[in-house]
Structure 1
Amino acid sequence: MATYIVAQIQIDDREQYSKYEDGFMAIFEKFKGKMLAVDESTQLLEGSWGATRTVLIEFPSKIDANAWYYSKEYQALAQYRFASSSANVVTIHGMESDNDSNPV
């Protein structure tokens, strides 16, 4: 079952963050990741959203998502993100198609 990662990122140092961006896709694609959305102009419908960037990515499974996130390659690259931004990052489990009732 697909697993999604949603990240709310508050970028404080764009120059330092660009080092993270420069290496991201090469590592990400090795782990079967699919970029679904990157947005710096989200429309707030409710609540508060303190992020300058919101990212939505997909992996075939939670195992794949964790393999990417906890990999030595990604964690080394992520040091640039940690130094230049703050973030809330969560995993969300996908739903089975056709067989799920409306959960909302």
Structure 2
Amino acid sequence: MSVYLLAQLRFTDREAYDRYQARFMDVFRQFNGRLLAADERPQVLEGSWERDKVVLMSFPDAASASAFSSSPAYLEIAQDRKAGADAVVLMVRGFGA
């Protein structure tokens, strides 16, 4: 069943994050995922949210999501993401998973 990766980011070095973002899709496309949302201005409907961006990705299963996030290609570009943003990243199972 589908799984989702949900990332909430607070930028710490926008230049580093922009380098990551420029290379992200080339890596992401290799892993059968779908980018569902990437929003730097989400509307907060309840509570407080002290981040700058939310990203939502879908994968056919946990193995595909893990293959993406642990791949050498992603780990290489993730150095810039980690340098450029403080992140909370969750893997969420879809219904029936």
Q: TM bucket by the smaller chain?
A: over 0.9
* Offset of residue 64 of structure 1: 0.1
Q: State the number of aligned residues.
A: 96
Distance 1:30 1:17 in 2: 20
Equivalences for residues 23-102 of structure 1 within 5 A? 23-96=23-96
Residue 6 of structure 2 corresponds to which residue in structure 1? 6
Query: TM-score, normalising length from structure 1?
Result: 0.88
List runs of 5+ in structure 1 lacking aligned partners: 97-104
* Offset of residue 93 of structure 1: 0.4
- What is the DSSP-based 3-state SS (H/G/I as helix, E as strand, rest coil) of the residue aligned with 1:5? strand
Structural RMSD (CA): 0.9
Give the greater-gyration-radius structure (CA). Answer: 1
* Offset of residue 46 of structure 1: 1.9
- What is the DSSP-based 3-state SS (H/G/I as helix, E as strand, rest coil) of the residue aligned with 1:86? strand
- What is the DSSP-based 3-state SS (H/G/I as helix, E as strand, rest coil) of the residue aligned with 2:20? helix
Query: TM-score, normalising length from structure 2?
Result: 0.94
